Amino acid sequence: MGQKIHPLGFRLGITQKHKSQWFIKDKEYSQLAVEDFFVRKLLFNKFSEAGITDISIQRKLDQVQIEIQAARPGVIVGREGNGLEVLRKDLEKKLKLYRKENFYFYQKTFPEGFQLPQVAIHVIKLANPDLEAGFLADFVVEQIEKRVPFRRAVKQTIQRAQRARIKGIKIQVSGRLNGAEIARSEWVREGRVPLQTLRADIDYSYRTAKTIYGIIGIKVWVFKGEILTTIY
């Protein structure tokens, strides 16, 4: 049985940039990598309605810069514009608690107090969300959780993507589809999705929908065109 490599990891350094950009000693690397995962999970869960498609993290000596790409940034920023400051303080508080519980090297380095770097948050509004695999996957999740038949949800998603003039899209849905007793997988593809072409600009996202029958897994591949020059 053929095994498929992750389409984003396959293109790292060629057409895809790393989502975490920082350097640290070998012994401490894994702890900061897990902390990045903690931050992303926290933000995705807290702002599930914001249509977040990507979170990139850059670290400096005294600062952690978090860049959030979202279809609805108003959910994060808030009506009066003070949502970012509230989020920044809340994130710094939770990071401090997280490091106290999990970071051995911080307990050793700062025995009296945990000197956390400042958190800076930047929110970017997506110009065309229907081009992003994460946004389209969220749309499928939303429809399936509303008990819309999965084939109709997939068809509506493909139509949205085609209106955005993408080159190709593939959607795979797995689980107890429409409440069937036996789990199965079904997929639909429109246009070209060349997963083995390194210069192909492929966006990929995986989401899960929670239904009364169990978890439904949704995978979305979007082909935006070809990139003829490398990013580095």
Q: In terms of domains, do 109 and 138 share one?
A: no
pLDDT tens-digit readout, 93-151: 888 888 877 766 555 555 544 567 788 999 999 889 999 999 999 999 999 999 999 99
In a domain, 231, yes or no: no
- Reply yes or no on whether the pLDDT at 13 is more than 60: yes
CATH code where residue 203 lies? 3.30.1140.32
Q: Check residue 36 and give its pLDDT.
A: 92
Question: Considering 104, 125, 146, which residue would you say is the last residue of a domain?
Answer: 125
| Domain CATH number, residue 116 | 3.30.300.20
* Same-domain status, 185 and 87: no
Residue 113: its pLDDT value, please?
47
Q: Is 152 inside any structural domain?
A: yes
25/95 same-domain check: yes
Query: Does the pLDDT of residue 69 top 50, yes or no?
Result: yes
| pLDDT score at 153 | 95
Range of the domain at 204: 129-226
Q: Are residues 30 and 94 in the same domain?
A: yes
Assess if residue 50 is contained within a domain: yes
Q: Is residue 20 part of a domain?
A: yes
Instruction: Report the domain count for the chain.
Output: 2
Look up tokens 């994130």; give the residue.
91
Q: Are 135 and 121 in contact (CB under 8 A)?
A: no
How do beta strands 63-70 and 118-125 pair? Answer: parallel
Does residue 173 sit in the same domain as residue 85?
Answer: no
DSSP for 19-51, please give it: SEE----HHHHHHHHHHHHHHHHHHHHHTTTTT
* In the predicted structure, residue 4 carries a pLDDT above the cut 90: no
Q: Which residue has the tokens 């999965």?
A: 150
Find the farthest-apart pair of alpha carbons in the chain and give their distance in angstroms, rounded.
Answer: 59
Residue 87 lies in a domain: yes
Distance, CA of 137 to CA of 73 (rounded, Å)? 18
pLDDT grade, residue 1 (50/70/90)?
Answer: low
Burial class (CB in 10 A: 0-12, 13-18, 19+), 8: middle
Q: Could you say which of 94, 125, 156 is where a domain stops?
A: 125
Q: For 180-200, how does the pLDDT look when each residue is reduced to its tens digit (9 = 90+)?
A: 999 999 999 999 999 999 999
Instruction: Give the integer Cα–Cα distance in Å for 84 and 76.
Output: 7
Judge whether 34 lies within some domain.
yes
